């Protein structure tokens, strides 16, 4: 049977394509968890390489700043770029070292304080519960508070038994931490080499795409990638600036209020603020947990201040920094956070907003525009 040139316009072809598409979509949705697990497994093998590419991508704007502003008068482009990359690495290493020098003493102090006072926290809590029951003249809480205290005893006993019986997991956890540190070192080294070889890799990729793509398609792809790059770079830069501002404001508040662990908690708040939606909540909970071990009133004041700070950040700081160029719907951001977190972990969560912005402009400027043009042609003909 000869199909002919216009066989795609026949109804049975459209019905067949629609049916096959529906079956494929059903299979994808039915096995979505298996597909995501497969992607996660593959990503686990190539994670150091991907992490190195991400680190190089994040470091690249700083290296370009050194290249254009500091060493801009140098004529040797190769030497200029190598010096820029070297300065970038030195700045990053110094920043990390200073951060750890400031954080580690407070972190050790916080952990030791918790470990030494945990029995006192438990006894105080149980004493408060039993005194409330003893002084309850109305009978409203009769029996409940004592039962709650007993329940707390059982929970603590089970937690203690768990840690006693699962000390072998410490070895596995230590091995995982060691593997994570090794992957981070490999990713950092790969990032340095990727930055140093950026021009050669970029020219080679551009040459390859010109050979395999039509000139019009190549130009469209270049415009698309440039727009995606500008969205991601702008988001990362402004997100880091916003995190620094929030962390500094939190530090100033804690220093004025005389709260302990101000540097540690402010860094936690600033770093967790980089992740959209859930990040500030995590920072608030961690900061309050550290403070409640010292003084519950500190924790309460910190919670109130964090709510005020995040309200100002969400309604004043974020709109002024990001403007409307990255404006996407909360639903799209939430979906991107869930999917990105499942596939790429923390990096997927942090980059949820720019990914959502890219998906949004692809949908509006490419898919819908193509469909509108096709529909206009049909009506015109």
pLDDT by residue (tens digit) across 307-320? 888 888 776 776 66
Q: How many CB atoms lie within 10 A of CB 287?
A: 26
| Per-residue model confidence (pLDDT) at position 211 | 85
Give the CB-side neighbour count of residue 40, counting CA atoms within 13 A: 14
Sign of CA dihedral 364, 365, 370, 372: positive
By mean pLDDT, which of 9-18, 134-143, 227-236, 325-334 is the weakest?
134-143
Place of tokens 């400031």: 102
- As a whole number of angstroms, the longest Cα–Cα distance in the chain is 94
| Per-residue model confidence (pLDDT) at position 39 | 72
pLDDT surpasses 60 at 358: yes
Residue extents of the structural domains in the chain: 37-212
pLDDT surpasses 70 at 34: yes
CA-nearest of 305, 307, 245, 312 to 274 is 245
CA-nearest of 271, 282, 285 to 239 is 271
- DSSP-derived letter for residue 377 is H
pLDDT, greater one: 294 or 127: 294
| Per-residue model confidence (pLDDT) at position 20 | 77
pLDDT, greater one: 308 or 29: 308
| Per-residue model confidence (pLDDT) at position 313 | 78
pLDDT, greater one: 95 or 16: 95
pLDDT digits (tens, 9 = 90+) for 260-287: 888 888 888 888 887 766 778 888 888 8
pLDDT, greater one: 30 or 302: 302
pLDDT, greater one: 210 or 279: 210
The mean pLDDT of the chain is 75
Band the pLDDT of 90: cuts 50, 70, 90: very high
Q: Are residues 59 and 195 in contact, defined by beta-carbon separation less than 8 angstroms?
A: yes
CA-nearest of 184, 237, 214 to 49 is 184
Q: How many CB atoms lie within 10 A of CB 380?
A: 6
pLDDT surpasses 80 at 201: yes
Band the pLDDT of 146: cuts 50, 70, 90: low
Percent of the chain at pLDDT > 70 equals: 70
By mean pLDDT, which of 9-18, 155-164, 185-194, 273-282 is the weakest?
155-164
Q: What is the mean pLDDT of residues 1-24?
A: 65
| Per-residue model confidence (pLDDT) at position 124 | 58
Band the pLDDT of 206: cuts 50, 70, 90: confident
By mean pLDDT, which of 11-15, 97-101, 162-166, 289-293 is the weakest?
162-166
| H/E run at residue 106 | helix 77-134
pTM for the structure as a whole: 0.63
The number of angstroms, rounded, from the C-alpha of 275 to the middle of its chain's C-alpha atoms is 5
| Per-residue model confidence (pLDDT) at position 237 | 79
């Amino acid at each position: 049977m000869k199909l002919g040139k216009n066989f795609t316009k026949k109804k049975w072809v459209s019905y067949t394509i629609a049916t096959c598409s529906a079956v494929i979509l059903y299979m994808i949705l039915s096995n979505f968890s298996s597909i995501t697990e497969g992607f996660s497994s593959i990503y686990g093998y190539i994670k150091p390489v991907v992490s190195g590419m991400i680190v190089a991508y994040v470091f690249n704007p700083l290296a370009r700043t050194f290249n254009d502003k500091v060493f801009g008068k140098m004529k040797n482009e190769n030497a200029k770029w190598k010096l820029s990359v070297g300065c970038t690495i030195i700045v990053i290493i110094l920043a990390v070292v200073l951060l750890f020098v400031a954080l580690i003493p407070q972190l050790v102090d916080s952990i030791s304080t918790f470990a030494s006072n945990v029995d006192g926290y438990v006894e105080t809590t149980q004493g408060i519960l039993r005194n409330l029951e003893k002084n309850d003249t109305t009978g409203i809480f009769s029996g409940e508070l004592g039962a709650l205290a007993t329940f707390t005893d059982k929970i603590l006993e089970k937690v203690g038994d768990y840690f006693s019986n699962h000390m072998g997991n410490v070895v596995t956890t230590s091995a995982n931490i060691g593997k994570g540190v090794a992957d981070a070192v490999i990713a950092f080294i790969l990032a340095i080499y990727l930055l140093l070889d950026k021009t050669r890799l970029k020219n080679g990729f551009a040459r390859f795409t010109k050979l395999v793509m039509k000139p019009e398609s190549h130009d469209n792809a270049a415009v698309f990638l440039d727009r995606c790059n500008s969205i991601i770079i702008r988001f990362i830069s402004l997100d880091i600036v916003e995190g620094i501002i929030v962390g500094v404001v939190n530090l100033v508040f804690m220093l004025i209020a005389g709260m302990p662990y101000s540097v540690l908690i402010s860094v936690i708040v600033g770093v967790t603020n980089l992740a959209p939606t859930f990040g500030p909540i995590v920072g608030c909970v961690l900061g309050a947990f550290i403070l409640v071990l010292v003084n519950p009133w500190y924790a309460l004041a910190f919670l109130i201040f964090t709510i005020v700070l995040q309200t100002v950040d969400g309604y004043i700081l974020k709109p002024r920094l990001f403007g409307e160029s990255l404006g996407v719907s909360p639903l799209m951001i939430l979906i991107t956070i869930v999917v990105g977190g499942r596939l790429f972990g923390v990096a997927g969560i942090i980059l949820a907003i720019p990914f959502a912005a890219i998906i949004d402009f692809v949908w509006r400027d490419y898919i819908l525009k193509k469909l509108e043009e096709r529909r206009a042609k049909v009506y015109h003909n």
